[in-house]
Each structure stands twice: as structure tokens, then as C-alpha cells.
Amino acid sequence: MDLKSVGVITLLLANNVAIAEEKKDLSPEPLLADKSLSLIEIPSQCYMKGQLEDEKQWLISQTSQDYYAQKFTNENYHEVCVDSFKISQYEVTLALYQQYSSENESTTLGEKGCYVVGDNGWENNLEADWRNPTFEQVHTHPVVCISYYEAENFIAWLNNKLNPTHRYRLPTEGEWELAARGEGKQRLSWRYWGNDAGAAKACEYGNISDLSLNDYKQQDQFFNCHDGAVQTADVHSFKPNNYQLYNMLGNVQEFTCSGFSDTPLLSESSCDKEETMEHITVKGASWYYPPIFNRAAFRGGLPRHLRFFGVGFRLAQDVE
């Protein structure tokens, strides 16, 4: 299986996490009470998207010129204009996805399995799925180990169930990065809490690759603080950005509806429903991504049919 996935890095974690033998209570909340459906409206505007010059120099200093050229040259700095839209404050929860599953005989599309990091890097664990992503979760954690196609099927179910005036969808890449950056001075930083990877306040704002993870699985790079979680955390955990959006960086990486291209201008402002591009764009960084990847500008592409234990999604809507 070809894993040409810019947004996924091969972290050589020492040991694979065994699938939890005992599941915690995953009983869903009433549908309309689920945090995943709480939306914030972002007004129509233009903004500067992509990587800043000082960000580029920092990335090179943390890696090498060759590694930078391989991973980060598709984050070019440019203006993007978006219409008003709404985006959910929180990632879609395990509880909400469980309710969807309980009303559908099969929610798994294609081959079984979910890519996790084991002793030898990325591997497709055929026993792993959204119920057992190889680590323990509770119902308020974000759902992971689902594919882009499965996320789209969930959204179709949700629209049929609730029949909203404006149908739920995934955000475009351009919408997602605007939402993640926040507004005002916060927008000028690589991360909405600031640029310093060594600052303790990083762990106040996100479930990141921190000392908690480093103590558990030794890594070369990490945020120098403790966020209190090793894998996923409650979607309402940590401080929001100034749009009042939670975990836009950290917890899980998130699907957008935009196809992935090394030239973002070709794809970032629309949903690629016709699948003109092989990969789908993912944004953000999960709980195991080191600081070089945990930035608003970072963008990656994943095969639409594959599942990863650090990838989830949040909802968006059009606005009249």
C-alpha cells in the first residue's frame, strides 16, 4: 500500500500500545446535546495563509534544508478570501459517531484496519478500528480510525437525521486554517498560543506531543511541558483560540473537504467532490506530532480510503 502521505510522519515509537481489553462507557449523549454540533460563525474575510519567513528559518534550524524541502515547501504564504461559514467548536466525538453506528448496520467501508505506529513504524493493524484505536478512549474523546469516505457517510447521516437549513459538511482547507489562526495578533503566530515550543503555556492550549508522551515513547522533539494526556483527550479540554475553537492544533489531525495539491491555490477554497485529486488535505496536528508539524500552516495529504489513529474531523456549514 502506497503511503505517500505528506501529512503523516513516521515516528519510531518504541512499543505498540495494546488494544484495551476493557472499554469504558461509550454511551452517547442525546444527539442535539453533543458538543460536536456547537458551531461558531466566522465572518467573510481575506487573510494571509501559509508559512512566514521566520517560521521557515526555524523549521530549517530544527531539521535540515533537505528535510524542509521535502516536507514544508507547499506552505507558501499568500492571500486567501473566504465567505462567511460556521465551524464546530469541537471535534466530532466518539459518542456521536457511536450513535451513527448504532443506527447503521455497517459503517466500515472497504478493507479493515487502521494505521498505527508500531515497533517498525507505520503499520496497518487489522484489529484496530474506531472502537479500539489501540489506546483507551471515553465517549467525549474525538473519533479516530475512520477514513475520509466514512466521515462523509457520517455527515450524510447527520444531515438526514437533523435536516438542518444549512447542511453539515467538512471545512475547506482555506476555512480551516483561518479558523485555526484566530483573529488579531493571534493570527500572526505559527500557533495561536505563540511560537515558542519550549513555553509551558503550549500545554494549556492543546493536547500536544509533550513530556507526557515523551516519557511514554521517547521522541527526538517535543513540547517542554505536561498537558496531562498521552493519547487523545476530551474535545472540550484545554483553552480555545480567540474564535473559541478548541484543539485546532493538537488532539487529532483533521480532514478537510479539499483535495491535496503541492500548490494549495489549486484546491484550498473548494470541496473536491469529483475526486480530481488522489489525496485529501488534512490540517492540524495530533497528540503525537512534534512541534515542527504542530503549526497552523502545516498541511498534508492522505489517501481517502485509509484510516489513521491520529486523524478525526470537525463539522462546518455554509452561511446565507
d(CA 299, CA 71): 9
Residue 93 grid coordinates = 466525538
How confident is the model over 187-211, as pLDDT tens digits?
888 999 988 766 778 899 999 988 8
d(CA 93, CA 251): 12
d(CA 202, CA 205): 6
Helices within 75-193 (DSSP H only): 94-102, 148-162, 173-181
DSSP state of 122: E
Q: All domains of the chain, ordered by start, with CATH?
A: 31-318 (3.90.1580.10)
How confident is the model over 252-288, as pLDDT tens digits?
999 999 999 888 777 898 899 889 899 999 999 999 8
Cβ atoms 146, 310 nearer than 8 A = no
Looking up cell 517560521 gives 55
End-to-end CA, the chain: 42
Over its length of 320 residues, how does the chain's per-residue pLDDT go in tens digits?
A: 443 443 433 333 333 333 333 344 444 456 767 888 999 999 999 999 999 999 999 999 999 999 999 999 999 999 999 999 999 999 999 999 999 999 987 777 878 899 998 877 889 999 999 999 999 999 999 999 999 999 999 999 999 999 888 999 999 999 999 999 999 888 888 999 988 766 778 899 999 988 877 655 656 778 888 898 989 999 999 999 999 999 999 999 999 999 998 887 778 988 998 898 999 999 999 998 889 999 999 999 999 999 999 999 999 999 97
Residue 216 grid coordinates = 511514554
DSSP state of 32: G
Quick one: which of 28, 24, 228, 215 has its CA closest to 136? 24
Residue 11 grid coordinates = 515516528
Residue 257 grid coordinates = 473537504
3-state helix vs strand vs coil in the chain, percent to 5? 25, 15, 60
DSSP state of 18: P
Cβ atoms 251, 47 nearer than 8 A = no
